[in-house]
A and B are shown apart, each in its own frame.
Chain A
């Protein structure tokens, strides 16, 4: 059973556009929500993370929006660039726990 559900599976965006990836979870004990970026042949790399005490976190062109009541969170990539083309994974975990539950990934392609 997938603890974190991610959509869409793939996404094609024009350069300069906004990429939006959505995730949903059921376990209300989750309180740490990171996003990872993975390029082909590489390991995932932490991109940005949020805790549920804030509704939004922004780092450069990357923003996480968090809706605690809906148990959903999303990644927005503003002014998407071809270099952003990668697979993005959302994840969730409980405070102090070692289990990080990943979504199934979104393959983003940004076309020039």
Chain B
């Protein structure tokens, strides 16, 4: 059981470039999430997918898009990267919404110059 996996681990982009962060889980979870973690800000929810085929905005969705490819995979796309998107991005999954524990991946450290 790998749990939640994320690729890549590190990425450097130039302003205006695009990229997709990949996430997969092997726990047969229904819900998946994308967070960003910034110093002094904690973790903030970008987008989530309550179940396969659905996606919804979280606290900070601007500048991002997501795709729930299937039950296992949930990707995050930056169409035109900006320096303000420099952050550590975490994918998480949970069996269901709300009161069950969320399991986090190891994170992707993204720098936009």
Contacts and interface: CB of A to CB of B under 8 A. Distances in A.
A89 B4 CA distance: 19
Given A44-B43, A44-B104, A104-B40, A98 B99 contact: no
Given A32-B98, A93-B98, A102 B104 contact: no
Interface string A56-94: 000000000000000000000000000000000100011
A81 B40 CA distance: 25
A43 B59 CA distance: 19
B41 A100 contact: no
A34 B101 CA distance: 8
Interface string B48-78: 1010000010110000000000000000000
Given A34-B101, A51-B99, A98 B43 contact: no
A2 B48 CA distance: 19
Interface in B25-41: 31, 33, 40-41
A100 B102 contact: yes
Contact of B45 (A4, A43, A100): A100
A95 interface: yes
Contact of A98 (B98, B103, B106): B98
Interface residues of A, number: 30
Contact of B101 (A31, A46, A89, A102): A46
Interface of B: 4, 31, 33, 40-45, 48, 50, 56, 58-59, 90, 92, 97-99, 101-107
Please name the 6 residue pairs, one residue from A and one from B, whose CB atoms are nearest each other, closest first: A43-B104, A102-B42, A46-B101, A32-B99, A96-B98, A102-B43
Given A42-B107, A45-B104, A96-B98, 19 more contacts: A32-B98, A32-B99, A43-B90, A43-B92, A43-B104, A43-B105, A43-B106, A46-B102, A46-B103, A49-B101, A51-B99, A89-B43, A93-B99, A95-B98, A99-B45, A100-B102, A102-B43, A102-B44, A104-B40
